Each structure stands twice: as structure tokens, then as C-alpha cells.
Amino acid sequence: MRTLLLVPALLFATTGLAQRPKAVARPAAGPDVSMGLGRDALIAAALADISPARIRATDSTLVAFGTRHTMSDTVSATRGIGAARRFLYGELRAYSRDCGGCLRVEYDPYDVQITRFRDRPTARVVNVLAWLPGRDTTRVVVISGHYDSCICSTDQADATSDAPGADDDGSGTSAVVELARVMSKRFPKGLDATIVFAVVAAEEQGLLGATGFARRLHDEKKTVVAAFTDDIIGNVVADDGRVDSTSMRTYAVDSVPSRSGELARYVWGVGAVYNPAFEVRPTFRLDRIGRGGDHSPFHRLGDAALRFTERLEDTKRQHLGTDDLSGVNFAYVANVAKLNLATVASLASAPAPVDSVQARRDRASGGQKWNVTWKPTPGAARYEVLFRATSSATWTRVYDAGTATSYLLDEQLDDGWAAVRAVSDNGHRSLTTVASTSAPPRAAPAAATPAPPPER
Ligand SMILES: [Zn+2]
């Protein structure tokens, strides 16, 4: 079997070292985190369409509505959250007209109680969704930003003062709108899985819009392949003057059986393949400490979920009247949007993740090898088995398993992890599924034994 070795090529100079003063050999770049993911020419071409000027125009319009507080005016055409959502709906409808009706645009309302406020008011929380149906309408990839804003650093319930929310989260909302424009133009027939461009509401009162939509997808028996949120993706200057416009962070929990950690590795790899100059910095944690985001409701329902966010935040500008357009770098937001597009398009082009992956110690090799088995996946042309040491943050070796649904892995899983992914005939890779190494349940246990905790 062909083996792709992805271990970083460290440059160990072997000639003349003894004669030279002590020198430290350094890799030319960081470790290879691409996991063998391929580059699709159509996706790469679409990235060039992402326009910082259009993202700025969308965000500027959102800011001009004064406030987008959840309890703000819903009737005015010029001020408040109602005007904002009608604007967003109109933009998405216009993109759909331009692609021959390829997007299904809808309001997605929920009547909820805002328990964070002392008088516990009820509110109609309205998301705006644009669906790009794929060949498979049961599998969905969700990319969201929240269009509500607040000045909740001063008064959570103040629904009338200006709350520009240019970065939080006009930036993410405008990126999602731009993705809908570019992807509907480039892929009007859709991809394999369905994509939902979602601008959601009432994030600031407890992720209420995203929670409603996550529950709805599960009630409708959709399979959520991945749920992303773009939230606070435009600031590049920290309060102390440090600047970082070339890297961004992802937040996702890494614990089996959740695939959120696998999603983080996937995004990391996609970034390295499509735009290596813009560094992805994964953090294996649900969110920043004490903070939350719209990927969380999906993660809690068991979906692979991840937050995109800027590298350097300035909390002196968040949830305040100072969160204005001067603090948003739109070239930076465009780079985040490009990473979004490459990730969403890659995942939506790929087969479903592989199911029922098991690894058993191979007796014939004296326990040095492992037998990995899995169920066939619809749409898979072949499979790949991946390995990483427990000390490695991402997959470092990829083995081609061909069309088989088993593979004798010459790696020691006492020291690492194995996973399997499906590859389509045009080279798109599914999310990885980590092999379970636990013994199968016995038919009739003598006594109830509590299950061991997940291993990581
Ligand atoms: Zn936010």
C-alpha cells in the first residue's frame, strides 16, 4: 500500500557541523499539518472572489441601523434589529435571483424567554437562513454569524442606545453573507452535502437563535456534518499596540466520540493547503475562558462544531459603543472568509464520515500491529487510515487502504491514535473518525460495570 509520510521534514544538516560554531537546525516552516488533504482548483478559484470591499459594505450597513439589540425596534425601516434582518434577507434573496434561485432563503423564528433579564421578557428571535441544497439534502454544513449586537458591558437590557457591533459580530455576519454570494455564484448546483448560510439572532442573550436552529435541524433528522460560527473576526490590534493580521484562532473541544476536535484538525489542514500565509492556530477548548459562541449548542447536541475568531481581541471595544468600523480590518476578515469557504466547500464536497471504526490488537504480529475495520461509506471511492502519536496535535501519517474496509496498521496504538476517512473519486476527504479501541460489550455481563471514561 502507498504510504504518505507527513512527518515534518526537519533540516538536520549533517555536513560540517563539527567545524562550525553551535547552530540550531530549524525547519523552514512549521510542521506539516495538511494531513494529506488535496487542493481543489474550483475551490481555489472561488477564494479570489471574496471581496473585502463587499464585506465592509455589508458591515457598514449593519452598523448604520444604530442598534441590533434583540429587544430593539422591529418595525422601523432604518433602525433596530427588524431593519437589519430585512436587509440581510434582501441581500440573500438578491444572490439567489442572480444564481437562478439556487438559494432557499427563509426567516427562521423562535419565541423564547430571555431568562437573563430580570423581568424575563419573551421575544421573537428571528434567524435568516440561506440554504444551498446539495445532492444529499439530509447532510448539512452550517456556517453562521450573529447579527444582533448589544452594549451589554454597560446595560444588558439597553435596547435603544447605539450598539454598533461592527466586530461583534458585524464582521462574522458580513463574512457569512459574502460566502453566500460567492458560493452561490460559483456552485449554483450545490455540492454533495447541503450548506446553510445562517445569520442568527440573540447570541448576546444566551445563544438563543443558534440553539433554536440546532434543535430544529435535529428535530428534522438532519445530520449536521459540521457547524461553524464566525464570531469577532476583524480586530488585529491589541490594547497594548501589538498587531497580528496574519493568524487567527479556532476553538473546538477535542474529546472522542465528538468529532469537534477532528473538525479543528480539518480546518488546520485546509488552511495549510489553501492559504499557508494565513496561519490557523487551533485551540482544543470549547471557547475562550468565560466566553461563549453559537457553535456551542451544536457541540452539546453531539455535532462537530467550531468557532473562528480573531487572534487578538480588545475587550475594551466589545459590547460597547466603541465597537465601531474603525476597529475592523476588512482584509483580515476576508482572509478568515477565505478559510471558511475552503473549509465549507471541502467538507460539503466530501463523503460522510466513516462509521463504526474499530481497532483490535493483531496477535500474529505479537501485538505490534493493529487491525482497523469500518463500515462502507456511500460515495467513498477509497479510504485512508491515519495515525498520530498521543503527543502530536494532528495526524502525521496517512496510509492508503484502497477500497477495502479493513487495514493492518503497522503502528503501535498503545502510543497513539488511529482514524479512518473516506475519499471521494475527485479526492475530497471526509472528516476523520477516530478508531475505538475498547472491547466490544459482552453479551450478558455478570454485573453492571461502569464504563471507563473517554480516553482523552
Ligand atoms: Zn459575538
Domain count within the chain: 2
Distance 353 CA to ligand 1 centre (A): 30
Query: Which three cell numbers mark 444?
Result: 450478558
* 11 and 95 belong to one structural domain: no
Inside any domain, residue 293: yes
* 288 and 370 belong to one structural domain: no
What is residue 19's predicted lDDT score, i.e. its pLDDT? 41
* 92 and 19 belong to one structural domain: no
Distance 140 CA to ligand 1 centre (A): 23
What is residue 79's predicted lDDT score, i.e. its pLDDT? 98
Inside any domain, residue 32: no
* 365 and 263 belong to one structural domain: no
Distance 333 CA to ligand 1 centre (A): 15
Inside any domain, residue 106: yes
122/239 Cα distance (integer angstroms): 37
Q: End of a domain among 293, 322, 349?
A: 349
* Beta carbons of 72 and 160 less than 8 angstroms apart: yes
Distance 97 CA to ligand 1 centre (A): 30
∠ CA 398-401-403, nearest 5°, is 140
Only one residue has cell 475562558, namely 289
Distance 143 CA to ligand 1 centre (A): 14
Distance 207 CA to ligand 1 centre (A): 9
Inside any domain, residue 448: no
Inside any domain, residue 440: no
CATH classification at residue 23: 2.60.40.10
Q: Would you write out the chain's pLDDT as a tens digit for each of its 456 residues?
A: 445 544 443 333 333 333 444 444 444 456 899 999 999 999 999 999 999 999 999 999 999 999 999 999 999 999 999 999 999 999 999 999 999 999 999 999 999 999 988 889 999 999 999 999 999 999 999 999 999 999 988 888 899 999 999 999 999 999 999 999 999 999 999 999 999 999 999 999 999 999 999 999 999 999 999 999 999 999 999 999 999 999 999 999 999 889 999 999 999 999 999 999 999 999 999 999 999 999 999 999 999 999 999 999 999 999 999 999 999 999 999 999 999 999 999 999 999 999 999 999 999 999 999 999 999 999 999 999 999 999 999 999 999 999 999 999 999 999 999 999 999 999 999 999 999 998 665 655 544 445 554 444
Inside any domain, residue 439: no
Domain encompassing residue 407? 3-27+353-434
Distance 210 CA to ligand 1 centre (A): 12
Distance 204 CA to ligand 1 centre (A): 7
Distance 139 CA to ligand 1 centre (A): 26
* 21 and 50 belong to one structural domain: no
* 374 and 325 belong to one structural domain: no
Distance 315 CA to ligand 1 centre (A): 12
Distance 232 CA to ligand 1 centre (A): 6
Distance 270 CA to ligand 1 centre (A): 24
360/376 Cα distance (integer angstroms): 18
Distance 212 CA to ligand 1 centre (A): 17
Distance 169 CA to ligand 1 centre (A): 5
Distance 133 CA to ligand 1 centre (A): 27
End-to-end, the C-alpha distance of the chain in Å comes to: 30
* 271 and 344 belong to one structural domain: yes
Q: How far is CA 437 from the centre of its chain?
A: 27
Q: For the chain, what's the residue count?
A: 456
* 247 and 323 belong to one structural domain: yes
* Beta carbons of 341 and 140 less than 8 angstroms apart: no
* 144 and 220 belong to one structural domain: yes
What is residue 153's predicted lDDT score, i.e. its pLDDT? 82
Distance 178 CA to ligand 1 centre (A): 18
Q: End of a domain among 322, 349, 376?
A: 349
Q: End of a domain among 349, 375, 407?
A: 349
Inside any domain, residue 449: no
What backbone torsions phi and psi does residue 80 show, to the nearest 5 degrees? 100, 175
CATH classification at residue 307: 3.40.630.10
What is residue 8's predicted lDDT score, i.e. its pLDDT? 40
* Beta carbons of 141 and 347 less than 8 angstroms apart: yes
* 268 and 321 belong to one structural domain: yes
Distance 337 CA to ligand 1 centre (A): 16
* Beta carbons of 163 and 321 less than 8 angstroms apart: yes
Distance 149 CA to ligand 1 centre (A): 8
What is residue 118's predicted lDDT score, i.e. its pLDDT? 86
Distance 281 CA to ligand 1 centre (A): 19
Inside any domain, residue 452: no
Sheet containing 382-389: which strands, arranged edge to edge? 3-5, 397-402, 382-389, 416-423, 433-434
Distance 29 CA to ligand 1 centre (A): 33
* 98 and 164 belong to one structural domain: yes
What is residue 119's predicted lDDT score, i.e. its pLDDT? 87
* 280 and 421 belong to one structural domain: no
Distance 172 CA to ligand 1 centre (A): 8
Distance 446 CA to ligand 1 centre (A): 51
58/323 Cα distance (integer angstroms): 16
